[in-house]
């Protein structure tokens, strides 16, 4: 690389920020670091030479990674973005895919996946790591399996709420909740809600 490329890394874990900097600096990248959304926005306003953002999906302050992406877009400060996350649950992968960012890499993968993603995205491409590709396929199939309301009902059932509680929470009739319960059992091919819940956890539909 003849020209240094500037990357802004946003992560609330100092060790992750230092680790990424130590890997990218020898590759001739200038690495700017932010531990929260407010600092990231401040740096994005000041620096006009950023070519890629690497943003953690879950930041400890009130603004998570995807919300930060939305804010950067609204402010006209958006640059190609890689979401770097340890959360590989299907609903999280689905949310990241819907955010239409240029790259997604899981923190559990080899760090070379992140450097590869940065190279590709900095050159105008899009990159999803192999593990994300696998999860995306599962997320797509799962999204077809249960509706968003089915998932909401299932989460509340798993939390121990009764049909009446869930109806009140979701502002639906108890009959509607019963309908969603039947759907969940049928779609997950389960005989009981406990079995359905276990299957949903295995599939990554709920936590």
DSSP helix/strand/coil, 188? coil
Match 């039947």 to its residue by tokens. Answer: 182
CA 206, 137, 103, 24: dihedral to nearest 10 degrees?
90
From residue 112, how far is each of 16, 87, 132, 179, 193 by CA, in Å? 14, 18, 15, 47, 42
Q: Are the C-beta atoms of residues 89 and 207 closer than 8 Å to each other? A: yes
Rounded CA separation 99/84 (Å): 13
**Tokens matching residue 42:** 């401040």
Say which CATH superfamily domain 5-139 falls into: Response regulator (3.40.50.2300)
Q: What is the DSSP string of 53-107?
A: EEEES--SSSS-HHHHHHHHHHTT----EEEEES---HHHHHHHHHTT-SEEEET
Whether 6 contacts 24, CB under 8 Å: no
The predicted structure's pLDDT at residue 93? 82
Note the pLDDT tens digit of each residue in 85-102: 998 877 778 788 889 999
Residue among 155, 158, 80 nearest 121 (CA): 80
- Relative to beta strand 50-56, strand 29-34 is unpaired
pLDDT in tens, 27-77: 989 999 999 999 999 999 999 999 999 999 988 776 889 999 999 999 999
Average pLDDT over residues 125-144: 81
Domain ranges of the chain: 5-139, 146-203
At residue 142, the pLDDT reads 65
* Domains 5-139 and 146-203 are alike in CATH topology: no
CATH architecture of the domain 146-203 equals Orthogonal Bundle (1.10)
> Which DSSP state fits 9?
E
* 137-184 pLDDT per residue, tens: 776 666 667 888 898 999 999 999 999 999 999 999 999 999 999 999
């Amino acid at each position: 690389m003849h020209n240094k490329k500037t990357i802004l890394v946003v992560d609330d874990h100092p060790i992750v920020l230092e680790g990424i900097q130590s890997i990218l600096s020898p590759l001739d990248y200038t690495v700017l670091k932010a531990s929260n959304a407010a600092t990231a926005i401040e740096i994005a306003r000041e620096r006009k030479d950023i070519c890629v953002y690497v943003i953690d999906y879950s930041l400890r302050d009130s603004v998570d990674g995807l919300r930060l992406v939305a804010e950067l877009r609204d402010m006209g400060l958006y640059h190609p973005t890689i979401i770097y996350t340890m959360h590989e649950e299907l609903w999280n992968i689905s949310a990241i895919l819907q955010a239409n960012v240029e790259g997604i890499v899981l923190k559990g993968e080899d760090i070379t996946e992140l450097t590869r993603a940065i190279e590709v995205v900095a050159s105008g491409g899009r990159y999803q790591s192999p593990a994300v590709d696998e999860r995306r396929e599962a997320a797509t199939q799962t999204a077809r399996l249960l509706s968003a309301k089915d998932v909401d009902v299932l989460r509340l059932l798993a939390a121990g709420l009764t049909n009446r509680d869930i109806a009140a929470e979701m502002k639906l009739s108890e009959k509607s909740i019963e309908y969603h319960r039947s759907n969940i059992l049928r779609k997950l091919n389960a005989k009981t809600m406990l079995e359905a819940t276990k299957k949903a956890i295995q599939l990554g539909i709920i936590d």
